[in-house]
Chain A
Amino acid sequence: MKGKIASLPMSYRLAVTSRVLAAVFGGYLVAALASVTLTMWLPLSRAEAVVTGMTISFLVYLVAVLWCFACRTAWSAWVGLLVPSVILATASGAARGLGYA
């Protein structure tokens, strides 16, 4: 086992570290943005929309974390989180601009 660990190349270790960081922080960002977007767009009262957004955000976080380890490369893990982040940020920003919030 030790031999196996030692033989893993540095690039592999960096890639795993990158995926972990993407999962923990990138995943959190997507989940938080998803909760905000839901809160902005759901046709519910403010407090109800907030609670709904929070309860669903953990499922988003879960999927984001799974994605980070399921995708082919560490780079695609980041891209797969940043693209939805940008979309979600735009959607919640649009809601604010349109005066929904």
Chain B
Amino acid sequence: MKEGFRQAMAWLHTWAGLLFGWLLFAIFLTGTLAYFKDEISHWMQPEIPAHAIDSAASLSLAQGYLQQHAADASRWVIDLPNARDPALSVRWQDAPAERGQRGRFTQKTLDAQTGAEIQPRDSRGGEFFYRFHFQLQMPYPWGRWLATIAAMVMFVALISGIITHKKIFKDFFTFRPRKGQRSWLDGHNAVGVLVLPFHLMITYSSLVIFMAMLMPASILASYGTDRDAFYQALFPETPIPERAGQASLLPALAPLLAKASEQWAGGHTARVSVINPGDANATVQLSRASSDRIAYEYGHDVTFNGVTGQLLGATPDKPLPMTVASGFYGLHLGHFAGPILRWLYFICGLAGTAMIGTGLVIWLGKRQLKHAKSGVMPFELRLVEVLNIASMAGLVLAVAVFFWSNRLLPLSLSGRAEWEVNGFFIAWGLSVLHALLRPGRKAWIEQLTVAAVLFIALPLLNALTTAHHLGVTLVQGDWALAGFDLTCFAAGLFLAWAAWKMQRAGLSVRVKKAPRTAPGPVTLEQRTH
């Protein structure tokens, strides 16, 4: 019976993993890239210069700019630069023409040191990967639903894989003398087990992040149709005073940074919002940087009267269940991570991606063995092969094309940011077509080679198209930009190595004898012995 349980779990692991593997590979790879979201954006918008951080000075510059350009706005939002994101971003909302309407938002990027307006190239930057990894470029809310369902399947595949692992591990060393196949399984187990705590955390936390969407039954049972009451209890807000209608000069905002920091035991401000600037009832809201703590809380604010500087309220500390939930949220996002931990996150994410990729390769490899002699593959195996190639090699290729589009598309092109994204999807689509037309191994080698060339040449392209090449960034010690170039170069070398290995393996397969037949497929109902 115990044997039967393991076999059933192996069956579940195999099929859940196969059906959602391609989607999960894309989610994991883009999610991993999103750990360097700000650094990728920095590289993709090199016009925004990085300076030493001086929040007070930047805030004064932003206030000056807004007072000059948006004195009549109903709301200002100032995003202060930080160690990862050098942009000083200001947004303002025009007072709505009619009551009840929402005013239009305008956004400008300023130099954090001079306050001068910057025109960075139009690009989604790292935000594209971040958004794609849970919205999948689908209309709201379908992408979120699909990504969350994939997360639940990942959770099932992960736990059933752990249950399977022990026995299967032994089995494969006993029954699989072919090095290639065994090595893949070896790798699958290694990357799976080595960073298992990360896999469990990242999968479970993704469900917690979307829990109100996926599992709203208890909200409905407790709050009925009044969902707002639940969110009010979850995110208590300090009431904002109504507009007085009386003009009053807004004093300097910068001193409020120190006052907010006092409230947060030395914490940092990421965003300053001014509601009704220039009014006697102006209100200033300072939102805490999410890099301050592990737990991620949306809207952790301190609110001041803008004119008198009087403290109006602060978001209270959350009770334990909410802290646990926002702790998982924060662990998933990793905003708190410094450079070393951030790299660790990145490596763990790559390990997760590799675990999914090797799993897909193993599924196909095991079944292909039987057709090695005849060389004819049944339709379903060919389909899996094409999807494997396009979802892995093709996706990596598409990422490279996304970066190349950023450097090659003319700066004046209208809808430029959209065209970068289009470039990504066109390349991905072409990789499907290419995988359909070429024999499996050739398609792998060719796509990996093109991706390798694109990544290896990316630092060169950067040097040819911008003034922020490795010669400059390494000397200046701008590790975000230099790190991007170097990581792409390393990724290119890895892909070239993979293509080379694939080529060599292809040569040896033809010489070797056909392998022994593998044991039959595990079925669910046939193990009553």
Interface residues of A (CB under 8 A from B): 1-2, 4, 8, 12, 15-16, 19, 31-33, 35-36, 38-40, 44-55, 57-58, 61-62, 65-66, 69-70, 72-73, 92, 101
A16 to B520, CA, bound (A): 18
Instruction: Please tell me if B378 contacts chain A, counting CB pairs below 8 Å.
Output: yes
Q: Contact: A62 with B159, CB < 8 Å?
A: yes
Shortest C-beta distance, B324 to chain A (Å), equals 7
Q: List 17 A-B contacts (CB under 8 A).
A: A1-B367, A1-B378, A1-B381, A2-B378, A4-B520, A12-B523, A12-B526, A46-B222, A48-B322, A51-B211, A51-B322, A54-B208, A54-B211, A54-B218, A57-B218, A65-B12, A69-B12
Instruction: Please tell me if B335 contacts chain A, counting CB pairs below 8 Å.
Output: no
Q: Contact: B523 with A66, CB < 8 Å?
A: no
Instruction: Please tell me if B230 contacts chain A, counting CB pairs below 8 Å.
Output: yes
Q: Contact: B211 with A49, CB < 8 Å?
A: no
Q: Contact: B155 with A58, CB < 8 Å?
A: yes
Shortest C-beta distance, B214 to chain A (Å), equals 8
Q: B-side binding surface: helix, strand, loop or mixed? A: helix
Contact of B218 (CB < 8 Å), options: A12, A53, A62: A53
Q: Contact: A51 with B221, CB < 8 Å?
A: no
Q: Contact: B152 with A58, CB < 8 Å?
A: yes
A72 to B528, CA, bound (A): 8
B3-11, B26-34, B36-44, B483-491 - the one binding chain A: B3-11
Contact of B221 (CB < 8 Å), options: A57, A62, A70, A92: A92
Instruction: Please tell me if B204 contacts chain A, counting CB pairs below 8 Å.
Output: yes
Instruction: Please tell me if B319 contacts chain A, counting CB pairs below 8 Å.
Output: yes
Q: Contact: A48 with B215, CB < 8 Å?
A: no
Most B-side CB within 10 Å, residue of A12, A53, A69: A69
In the complex, which residue of chain B has the Cβ closest to the Cβ of A9?
Answer: B525
Q: Contact: A51 with B321, CB < 8 Å?
A: yes
**Which residues of B lie under 8 Å from residue A8 when comparing CB positions?**
523
A55 to B152, CA, bound (A): 13
Q: Told that A4-B520, A4-B521 touch, could you supply 11 new A-B pairs with CB distance under 8 A?
A: A1-B367, A1-B381, A2-B378, A39-B218, A45-B233, A51-B322, A52-B321, A66-B12, A66-B159, A69-B12, A101-B221
- State how many residues of chain B have any CB contact under 8 Å with chain A: 46
In the complex, which residue of chain B has the Cβ closest to the Cβ of A35?
Answer: B218
In the complex, which residue of chain A has the Cβ closest to the Cβ of B156?
Answer: A65
A54 to B216, CA, bound (A): 8
Shortest C-beta distance, A69 to chain B (Å), equals 4
In the complex, which residue of chain A has the Cβ closest to the Cβ of B518?
Answer: A1
**Which residues of B lie under 8 Å from residue A45 when comparing CB positions?**
233, 319
**Which residues of B lie under 8 Å from residue A33 when comparing CB positions?**
217
A39 to B220, CA, bound (A): 11
Shortest C-beta distance, B227 to chain A (Å), equals 11
Q: Contact: B321 with A55, CB < 8 Å?
A: yes
In the complex, which residue of chain A has the Cβ closest to the Cβ of B235?
Answer: A47
Contact of A55 (CB < 8 Å), options: B223, B325, B523: B325
Instruction: Please tell me if B124 contacts chain A, counting CB pairs below 8 Å.
Output: no
A95 to B11, CA, bound (A): 40
A1 to B222, CA, bound (A): 51
Instruction: Please tell me if B360 contacts chain A, counting CB pairs below 8 Å.
Output: no
Q: Contact: B217 with A32, CB < 8 Å?
A: yes
Shortest C-beta distance, A64 to chain B (Å), equals 10
**Which residues of B lie under 8 Å from residue A19 when comparing CB positions?**
524
In the complex, which residue of chain A has the Cβ closest to the Cβ of B320?
Answer: A48
Instruction: Please tell me if B189 contacts chain A, counting CB pairs below 8 Å.
Output: no
In the complex, which residue of chain A has the Cβ closest to the Cβ of B5?
Answer: A70
Interface residues in B322-376 by Cβ distance below 8 A to A read: 322, 324-325, 328, 367, 370-371
Interface residues in B133-155 by Cβ distance below 8 A to A read: 152, 155
Q: Contact: A58 with B528, CB < 8 Å?
A: no
With known contacts A12-B523, A15-B525, A35–B152 Cβ distance under 8 A? no
Interface residues in B297-336 by Cβ distance below 8 A to A read: 319-322, 324-325, 328
Contact of A1 (CB < 8 Å), options: B215, B521, B526: B521
Shortest C-beta distance, B375 to chain A (Å), equals 15
**Which residues of A lie under 8 Å from residue B9 when comparing CB positions?**
66, 69-70
Most B-side CB within 10 Å, residue of A35, A65, A70, A92: A70
Q: Contact: A47 with B230, CB < 8 Å?
A: yes
Q: Contact: A61 with B324, CB < 8 Å?
A: no
A35 to B335, CA, bound (A): 29
In the complex, which residue of chain B has the Cβ closest to the Cβ of A61?
Answer: B152
In the complex, which residue of chain A has the Cβ closest to the Cβ of B326?
Answer: A51
A50 to B234, CA, bound (A): 10
Instruction: Please tell me if B502 contacts chain A, counting CB pairs below 8 Å.
Output: no
A92 to B12, CA, bound (A): 32
In the complex, which residue of chain B has the Cβ closest to the Cβ of A48?
Answer: B321
Contact of B222 (CB < 8 Å), options: A15, A16, A50, A57: A50
Most B-side CB within 10 Å, residue of A8, A19, A54, A101: A54
A55 to B385, CA, bound (A): 37
**Which residues of A lie under 8 Å from residue B290 when comparing CB positions?**
none
Shortest C-beta distance, B226 to chain A (Å), equals 11
A63 to B322, CA, bound (A): 24
Instruction: Please tell me if B212 contacts chain A, counting CB pairs below 8 Å.
Output: yes
Instruction: Please tell me if B70 contacts chain A, counting CB pairs below 8 Å.
Output: no
Q: Contact: A62 with B156, CB < 8 Å?
A: yes
A70 to B380, CA, bound (A): 26
List of 4 A-B pairs having minimum Cβ-Cβ separation, nearest first? A47-B233, A32-B217, A39-B218, A54-B211
Instruction: Please tell me if B219 contacts chain A, counting CB pairs below 8 Å.
Output: yes
With known contacts A36-B221, A72-B528, A31–B215 Cβ distance under 8 A? yes
**Which residues of B lie under 8 Å from residue A69 when comparing CB positions?**
8-9, 11-12, 160, 524
